[in-house]
A and B are shown apart, each in its own frame.
Chain A
Amino acid sequence: MNTSTLRRAIVPGVAALALAASLAACGSSDDSADSAASDGSSGAAAGGSLSGTVAGGGSSAQEKAQESWRAGFGQANSGVTMTYDSVGSGTGRSNFISGAYKYAGSDSAMTSDEITQATKACGGDPVEFPVFISPIDVAFNLKGVSSLNLDAKTVAQIFKGDIKTWDDPAIKALNPDAKLPSTAISPVHRSDSSGTTDNFTDYLHQAAPSVWTSDHSSDWPTTSGESAEGTSGVVGAVQGGNGTIGYIDDSGVEGTKLGVAKIKVGDSFVAPSADGAAAGLAASQLVSGTPATVMEYKINRTSTDPSTYPVFMASYEIACQSYGDANTGAVVKAFLTYITSADGQKAAAANAYSAPLPTDVASKEAAIIAKIGS
């Protein structure tokens, strides 16, 4: 068979294949969730009466937690598909206001302007409350040093660039027994807009206002020091050098061999922990002047209670009380109920290493969720 005969045989065959493929692509519909999730386990309450696809998005810090919530919620409600885009808190909120997302995850609470806009978009007061509490570690990579004590002022000076070497007297004073080399300090910050940055700078501003004069912001305020994209970027950057230090969400530090600094609270040095973060939220006050369905916290980072760890982030979930169609409302209500339930919080804790919501906070939230009409 020479090439031209082969050619003549192939062309119609390839054409038929291409046609079939395109027909398949255009014709088939979405596979539903249960047809693929068949590990043969846990037939617990599969089915449910809810159905549809609901889109949400926002904070990328919540990504892993959202993944586990989708898993748990999807197990119980196999007809529903939830989606979550990690586009960042700011875009999440603005897309919620524009109607592209039915719910949003945000590392910082909505401003009063945004609440007004959301009220207009929802046709009523929006719903907002914290769902994800995660400690932020001050992680470092320094040869020969595995533990470190730091206080707010020193941390602020390090990240500002005022303290340049590891054997600086300020660090030595807090760690009299450690052998600190004279290596230069390389602080690493986030290059992208981030809730982790927002909460970390809030801590520095509240706890060390004389050194860190700029207010909290999601974009790192100085141009000096290394920057990296995303939590994983900062982890890689800190791991990749000697003498590096960065602020990293606790979930990113799990499994790495980075050292984690203990922060001075009152008179003792406290290591980051989920319980410490939860205690930190409990010690904070609600912001007043917001609608009844909006629970925003002004986090108190200057507490001297050693059971609290002040460097943490509380990430919020935002939704409407009513939607255009009843089904969306029912799905969102069920989803939020699951997220704030003990099971949902356990899932987030197991997979994203977050702190479960304190029970009084959770019950207040349940009351708000109940108001979501259909």
Chain B
Amino acid sequence: MSITTKPESAERQDVAGPPAVGRLGDRLFSASALTAGVIIMVTLGAVFVFLAVEGIDGFHADRSVFEPAAGNFWAYAGKLLFGTTLAAVLAMIIAVPFAIGLALFISHYAPRRLAVPVAYLIDLLAAVPSVVYGLWGARTLASAAQPIQTWLGEHLGWFPLFSGQVSATGRTMLVAAVVLAIMIVPITTAICREVFQQTPRLLEEAALGLGATRWEMIRMAVFPHARSGMVAGVMLGLGRALGETMAVAMVLSASPLVTLKVLTSDNPATIASNIAANYNSEDNRIQTVLIATGLVLFVFTFLVNFAARLIVARAERKLA
């Protein structure tokens, strides 16, 4: 980058400070930026208030509302939280490696002419409505996956995850996790690929010049630079996994219970799919309970994000 010197004859009316227009513009602009941030805070506060007000009765709801799944609210919410976490963790385990691999492919491995169409196709996966994912997952994928699940159950049945009576229709937690993973991949891939593509050429060329293989260059130059962006992509994907309603409700054969077996037809329900399935229930009392579970999910997401940020901040401090 060359340094250019401005000629002395440039118009500079007031040497004392920035022009008045600039200062007003700055103040307006920063004020509106702050306002936007405050709007988000206020909105989220409103959502929290809504959940609390509508759901407060749910915490003390009568026993009969939860039967036969649980005896009180916390057992009920606990089981649903377990299901939410299990589905999200499984989906993330499947999705994140794929997303990063795909993002790497688009940014570094693909022949130039292939990169743009592939990126477009992956973005297309995000375009499919969740209802269609539910339909496809419940019918097509489940029946196609059934033989694979039977094989897993027969040959790897000793592994606690794969034990138990394999479902006849294939609509299991494993398939739901796969569908969730397919829904997460485009989000994480898009953000990761944008971030990978922003790696300074200089860093990459320097690594290659020192004799690094392509993978070593990526490890040394791309990943450190892209760390924050990757975390952002993963957190957005996790958010989607935790909050996905329709697809999970249609694919899973679910009720609130705690089990690690992912191949059976007794599957833990997630908080979001439980709300969708039971919101229009005959028994109106369950509505406050469902909103209360929504509040639980809200707080849980808060804690998970907080913890993730702490961990990332600590890791970054160690590296700096």
Contact = CB atoms under 8 A, between A and B. Distances in A.
Determine whether A and B are in direct contact in the complex, meaning some CB atoms lie less than 8 angstroms apart: yes
Interface of A: 87-91, 94, 108, 184, 186, 188, 191-193, 198, 217-219, 221-229, 233, 236-237, 239-244
A92 to B, nearest CB: 8
B265 A88 contact: no
A229 B171 contact: no
A233 B279 CA distance: 17
B169 A226 contact: yes
Given A108-B282, A240-B169, 5 more contacts: A87-B280, A90-B284, A193-B283, A227-B255, A229-B277
Contacts of B250: 228-229, 233
Contacts, number: 100
Interface string B46-70: 0000000000000000000000110
Nearest to A214: B68
A191 B168 contact: no
Contact of B171 (A193, A224, A237): A237
Contacts of B257: 223
Nearest to A220: B255
B169 A227 contact: no
Interface in B271-297: 277-284
Interface in B237-268: 249-250, 253-255, 257, 265-266
B182 to A, nearest CB: 19
Interface string B159-171: 0000001011111
Contacts of B284: 90-91, 94
Query: Taking each of A192, A198, A219, A221, which has the highest tally of chain B beta carbons within 10 Å of its own beta carbon?
Result: A219
Interface stretch (B1-9, B138-146, B210-218): B138-146
Nearest to A107: B282
A193 B266 CA distance: 18
A110 B68 CA distance: 24
A224 B277 contact: no
A91 B155 CA distance: 47
Given A227-B253, A237-B171, A222 B68 contact: yes
Contacts of B279: 88, 91
A111 to B, nearest CB: 10
B280 A240 contact: no
Contact of B265 (A94, A192, A225): A225
Contacts of B138: 228, 233, 236-237, 240
Contact of B282 (A90, A222, A225, A233): A90
Interface centre among A184, A198, A241 (most CB of B within 10 A): A241
Nearest to B170: A240
Contact of A193 (B69, B169, B249, B278): B278
The 7 A-B pairs at the shortest CB distance, nearest first, are namely A88-B280, A241-B168, A193-B281, A241-B169, A218-B282, A90-B282, A226-B253
Given A87-B280, A191-B254, A226-B253, A243 B68 contact: no
A226 B282 contact: no
Contacts of B143: 240-241
A305 B110 CA distance: 73
25 contacts: A88-B282, A90-B283, A91-B279, A191-B253, A191-B254, A191-B255, A191-B277, A193-B277, A198-B282, A218-B282, A223-B255, A223-B257, A226-B169, A227-B255, A228-B250, A229-B277, A233-B250, A236-B138, A237-B169, A240-B138, A240-B143, A240-B171, A241-B168, A243-B168, A244-B169
Contacts of B249: 191, 229
A39 to B, nearest CB: 28
Contacts of A90: 280-284
B168 A223 contact: no
A63 to B, nearest CB: 13
A184 to B, nearest CB: 7
B170 A219 contact: no
Nearest to A197: B282
Given A186-B168, A228-B171, A88 B277 contact: no
Given A90-B284, A192-B278, A223 B167 contact: no
A241 B254 CA distance: 17
B281 A88 contact: yes
A138 B218 CA distance: 59
A94 B284 CA distance: 8
Nearest to A94: B284
B255 A226 contact: no
A319 to B, nearest CB: 20
A91 B249 CA distance: 19
B168 A184 contact: yes
A223 B259 CA distance: 13
B245 to A, nearest CB: 11
B265 A226 contact: yes
A163 B281 CA distance: 29
A227 B252 CA distance: 8
Contacts of A88: 279-282
Nearest to A108: B282
Contacts of A227: 253-255
Nearest to A230: B250
Nearest to B168: A241
B148 to A, nearest CB: 14
Nearest to B265: A226
A227 B139 CA distance: 14
Contacts of B253: 188, 191, 226-228, 237
Given A184-B168, A186-B169, A240-B169, A91 B280 contact: yes
Nearest to A227: B253
Interface in B167-183: 167-171
